[in-house]
């Protein structure tokens, strides 16, 4: 395949080191040079690395394409067996087990090393001998230290890891940047476009874990007619095109689009690639990151499968705690800068991401393990600083005002026995009539534009009581506060949103249960004071300290506070009724969930780094509420203006008591009462409830 030719020269240069490292693995498996405590670990890891050698052999000979479905399935299971089901309880990838067997200090180092070694699966499938070799060499270096274990060995091992990460961060960031921008890295595209997608052996060519979700969704889509699959792809790609049109961005200046999806949707993706190419865009399809240098906690950005074990992903979300310090931060930022300088032309031609999200997995509340690697207070600040500076840096090359995106979502078979019916309903929801919603939503905006603030109150067990301050309109004939959002960048249709004023935005946002970034929160409670999170908690765990830490790490991304960056009212009652009908409300992705009630985003505004670009509603009025008191700091102190995160949190209609707009004279306009739309001109939205 053309893709593998890209690495021919690099592989030839590293081949001797690669061969020597694999020879050393053979001896590690058989010799008896380390203490009994550590012997099993090193034998298991060396044996796994030798599996990578065998895998490389299969790739070199083109054997993976010739294997039977049973052979490929068995190989896939063998590669991921250590993480599946109860096996994880006795895996060195499990920090609790690693610490129990190897001790507190070594356990954390070696469970980190385990995760780095496991990333070799990707490099073997993609035939990247350089990456395989450097990890194997690190393993050998650490093994050599353990042969001569004394009181200084722990420091030596930790220093070896630090030096490895530091020395190769530049190369890893350069490759990751290239993956994001260079269509010549066509590993996934080649599979999608060249395989017979009715032959499920194609799923096993990526190297990702292939589970029931991936197999069943591929089988399911293979039952669709060509026209049905084309229609799905058209909705997805047309939304992307319309996003540029609505934002008045010239798409003709762009050359690439990033496609992100869950394995199993390749039939749809194949047509999407064709439609994007008709727009003049080549696909860039990169894999979700597998190493701590490029991962974003447990969040998967790129193509991926649902994976063998979400607890494993969560356990290793903060592995950078092993090495993160100020010097490393500086080196990583230098590496990122150099990478984007190298690919700056491709960056200017990048049009933005097109995402297919999936939903339906069993809700996941992670086990909080004392043994997992964590960030200390100093590292938390460094992590926040890196996110802020790197976000600004990337925007210098991929200018936010010049790109767009789209997101669409579909259910996975894991959602239950009614999967087929839910899938069909989701397709209908994704294709609701834009014009109908556009007109109703304008009615809501006309009422909101009269307000000084909006009050949102929960009902029953939902204790939300929030006052959301609105910006002041000076020219009502040509300006508006809320954007009328139809089905372009965010599919399905159905919301109006604004950037609220922070001063005067006060109160409590409470959810009895909500699912964010693949994690379930029970009784999530955020208290706002002048638009900033003043306090936070949940009830996932018995300990209040654990609850606060969980929210801080996974919702605030280690910050002490975040602003309310968005206030919106979802209008897609059809999606809400679908969720209730099939009892899948808590499984909906935020993309759909945010349309099924009012939602509040913590973090940056919806106009992140594109505040200067004018935004107009279909009626011609300019949306002027694009900044808040934090984002406006970009004009005086840009380092304090952005957070690099935006998390939507939705109150479902059945937990909603009232949403009313309050005018300066103290009078109010009711929009929603007891979970139903009561504003004149919005009654049609209640039809879904009645039906």
In the DSSP assignment, the letter for residue 8 is H
In the DSSP assignment, the letter for residue 149 is -
User: Would you say residue 487 has pLDDT above 80?
Assistant: no
Assess whether 514 and 572 both reside in one domain.
yes
In the sheet with 483-485, reading across from the earlier edge strand, the strands are: 483-485, 495-498, 564-570, 598-603, 646-650
Q: Are 596 and 677 in contact (CB under 8 A)?
A: no
Assess whether 440 and 583 both reside in one domain.
yes
What DSSP assignment string belongs to 344-410? HHHHHTEEEEEEEEEE-PPP------TTS----HHHHHHHHHHHHHHHHHHHHHS-GGG---EEEEE
Predicted local confidence at residue 1, as pLDDT: 56
User: Would you say residue 210 has pLDDT above 90?
Assistant: yes
Angle between helix axes 69-80 and 36-61 (nearest 10 degrees) is 150
What's the domain count of the chain?
3
Predicted local confidence at residue 270, as pLDDT: 98
Q: pLDDT, tens digit, for every residue of 308-347?
A: 999 999 999 999 999 999 999 999 999 999 999 999 999 9
Assess whether 77 and 205 both reside in one domain.
no
User: Would you say residue 285 has pLDDT above 80?
Assistant: yes
| Length reported for the chain | 691
Assess whether 133 and 196 both reside in one domain.
no
Assess whether 202 and 171 both reside in one domain.
no
Average pLDDT over residues 100-129: 97
Would you say residue 413 lies in a domain? no
Q: Which two tokens stand for residue 687?
A: 């039809």
Assess whether 198 and 115 both reside in one domain.
no
Predicted local confidence at residue 550, as pLDDT: 93
Going by C-alpha positions, the residue among 555, 573, 598, 586 that lies closest to residue 464 is 598
Predicted local confidence at residue 151, as pLDDT: 62
Would you say residue 672 lies in a domain? no
List all residues 6 or more positions away from 474 whose beta carbon is below 8 Å from its beta carbon: none
Q: pLDDT, tens digit, for every residue of 540-556?
A: 999 999 999 999 999 99
User: Would you say residue 459 has pLDDT above 90?
Assistant: yes
User: Would you say residue 87 has pLDDT above 90?
Assistant: yes
Predicted local confidence at residue 148, as pLDDT: 78
- 335 against 7, higher pLDDT: 335
Predicted local confidence at residue 149, as pLDDT: 67
Q: pLDDT, tens digit, for every residue of 614-660?
A: 999 999 999 999 999 999 999 999 989 999 899 999 999 999 999 99
Assess whether 360 and 465 both reside in one domain.
no
Q: What angle do CA 279, 282, 284 make, to 5 degrees?
A: 135
Q: Are 128 and 7 in contact (CB under 8 A)?
A: yes
Assess whether 149 and 250 both reside in one domain.
no
Average pLDDT over residues 244-264: 95
Q: Are 601 and 648 in contact (CB under 8 A)?
A: yes
Q: Are 95 and 318 in contact (CB under 8 A)?
A: no
Would you say residue 36 lies in a domain? yes
> Residue 288 in 3-state DSSP?
coil
d(CA 630, CA 648) in angstroms, rounded, equals 18
Which value, in Å, is the radius of gyration of the alpha carbons in the chain? 26
Domain boundary among 406, 423, 450: 406
Share of the chain above pLDDT 90, in %: 87
Q: Residue 222: which region, alpha, beta or left (left: phi > 0; alpha: psi -120 to 50)?
A: alpha
Would you say residue 424 lies in a domain? no
Would you say residue 671 lies in a domain? no
Give the N- to C-terminal CA distance of the chain in Å, as an integer.
53
- 313 phi, psi to nearest 5 deg: -60, -40
Assess whether 81 and 208 both reside in one domain.
no
Going by C-alpha positions, the residue among 482, 436, 433, 471 that lies closest to residue 617 is 482
Half-sphere exposure for 349 (CA within 13 Å, toward CB): 14
Assess whether 353 and 294 both reside in one domain.
yes
Predicted local confidence at residue 588, as pLDDT: 86
Assess whether 171 and 191 both reside in one domain.
no
| Exposure string for 146-168, b = 16+ CB within 10 A, e = fewer | beebeeebeebbbebbbebbbeb
Peptide bond into 492 cis (omega under 30): yes
Q: pLDDT, tens digit, for every residue of 214-229?
A: 999 999 999 999 999 9
In the DSSP assignment, the letter for residue 592 is H
Share of the chain above pLDDT 70, in %: 99
User: Would you say residue 490 has pLDDT above 90?
Assistant: no
Predicted local confidence at residue 655, as pLDDT: 93
Assess whether 143 and 256 both reside in one domain.
no
Predicted local confidence at residue 247, as pLDDT: 86
Would you say residue 416 lies in a domain? no
Would you say residue 33 lies in a domain? yes
Predicted local confidence at residue 32, as pLDDT: 87
Predicted local confidence at residue 491, as pLDDT: 86
Q: What is the dihedral of CA 518, 524, 527, 528, to 10 degrees?
A: 30
Q: pLDDT, tens digit, for every residue of 386-430?
A: 999 999 999 999 998 899 999 999 999 999 999 999 999 999 999
Q: What angle do CA 487, 304, 317 make, to 5 degrees?
A: 105
- Mean pLDDT value across the chain: 94
Q: Residue 530: which region, alpha, beta or left (left: phi > 0; alpha: psi -120 to 50)?
A: left
- 3 against 339, higher pLDDT: 339
Q: Are 273 and 257 in contact (CB under 8 A)?
A: no
Half-sphere exposure for 156 (CA within 13 Å, toward CB): 14
Which residue segment(s) compose the domain that 504 sits in? 432-663
Would you say residue 53 lies in a domain? yes
């Amino acid at each position: 395949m053309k893709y593998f030719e890209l690495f021919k020269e690099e592989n030839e240069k590293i081949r001797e080191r690669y061969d020597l490292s694999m020879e050393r693995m053979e001896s590690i498996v058989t010799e008896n040079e380390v203490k009994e405590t550590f012997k099993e670990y090193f034998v298991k890891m060396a044996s796994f690395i030798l599996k990578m050698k065998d895998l490389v052999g299969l790739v070199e000979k083109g054997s993976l394409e010739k294997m039977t479905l049973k052979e490929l399935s068995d190989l896939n299971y063998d590669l991921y067996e250590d993480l599946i089901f109860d096996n994880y309880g006795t895996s060195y990838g499990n920090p609790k087990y690693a610490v129990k067997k190897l001790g507190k200090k070594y356990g954390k180092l070696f469970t980190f090393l385990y995760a780095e070694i496991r990333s070799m699966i990707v490099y073997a499938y993609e035939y990247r001998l350089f990456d395989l070799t450097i990890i194997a060499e690190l393993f050998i270096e650490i093994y050599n230290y353990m042969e001569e274990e004394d009181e200084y060995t722990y420091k030596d091992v930790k220093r070896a890891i630090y030096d490895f990460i530091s020395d190769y961060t530049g190369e890893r960031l350069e490759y990751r940047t290239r993956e994001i921008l260079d269509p010549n890295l066509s590993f996934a595209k080649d599979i999608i476009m060249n395989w017979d997608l009715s032959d499920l052996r194609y799923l096993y060519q990526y190297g990702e874990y292939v589970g029931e979700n991936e197999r069943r969704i591929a089988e399911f889509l293979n039952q669709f007619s060509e026209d049905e699959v084309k229609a799905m792809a058209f909705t997805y790609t047309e939304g992307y095109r319309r996003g540029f049109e609505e934002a008045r961005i010239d798409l003709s200046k762009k050359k690439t689009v990033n496609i992100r999806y869950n394995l199993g949707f390749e039939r749809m993706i194949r047509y999407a690639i064709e439609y994007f190419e008709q727009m003049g865009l080549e696909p860039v399809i990169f894999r979700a990151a597998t190493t701590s240098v490029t991962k974003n906690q447990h969040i998967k950005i790129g193509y991926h499968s649902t994976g063998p074990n979400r607890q494993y992903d969560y356990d290793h979300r903060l592995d950078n705690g092993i090495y993160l310090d100020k010097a490393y931060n500086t080196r990583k930022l230098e590496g990122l800068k150099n990478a984007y300088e190298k690919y700056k032309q491709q960056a200017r031609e990048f049009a933005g991401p097109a995402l297919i999200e999936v939903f339906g997995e069993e809700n996941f509340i992670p086990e909080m393990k004392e043994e997992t690697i964590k960030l200390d207070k100093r590292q938390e600040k460094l992590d926040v600083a890196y996110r802020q500076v790197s976000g600004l840096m990337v925007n210098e090359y991929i200018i936010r005002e010049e790109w767009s995106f789209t997101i669409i979502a579909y259910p996975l078979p894991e959602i239950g026995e009614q999967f087929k019916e839910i899938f069909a309903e989701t397709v209908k929801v994704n294709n609701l009539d834009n014009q109908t919603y556009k007109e109703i939503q304008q009615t809501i905006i006309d009422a909101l534009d009269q307000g000084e603030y909006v009050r949102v109150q929960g009902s029953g067990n939902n204790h939300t009581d929030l006052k959301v301050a609105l910006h002041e309109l000076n020219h009502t004939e040509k300006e508006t506060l809320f954007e009328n959002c139809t089905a372009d960048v965010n599919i399905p249709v159905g919301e109006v949103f604004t950037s609220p004023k922070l001063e005067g935005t006060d109160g409590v946002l409470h959810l009895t249960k909500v699912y964010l970034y693949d994690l379930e929160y029970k009784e999530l409670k955020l208290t706002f004071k002048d638009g900033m999170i003043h306090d936070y908690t949940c009830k996932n765990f018995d300990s209040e300290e654990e609850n606060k830490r969980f929210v801080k790490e996974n919702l605030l991304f280690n910050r002490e506070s975040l602003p309310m960056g968005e206030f919106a009212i979802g209008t897609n009652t059809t999606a809400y009724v679908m969720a209730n009908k099939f009892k899948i409300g808590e499984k909906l992705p935020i993309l759909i969930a945010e349309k099924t009630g009012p939602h509040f985003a913590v973090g940056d505004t919806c106009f992140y780094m594109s505040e200067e670009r004018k935004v107009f509603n279909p009626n011609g009025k300019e949306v002027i509420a694009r900044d808040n008191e934090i984002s406006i700091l970009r004009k005086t102190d840009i380092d304090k203006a952005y957070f690099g995160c935006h998390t939507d949190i939705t109150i479902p209609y059945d937990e909603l008591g009232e949403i009313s707009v309050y005018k300066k004279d103290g009078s109010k306009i009711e929009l929603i009462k007891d979970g139903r739309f009561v504003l004149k001109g919005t009654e049609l939205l209640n039809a879904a409830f009645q039906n």
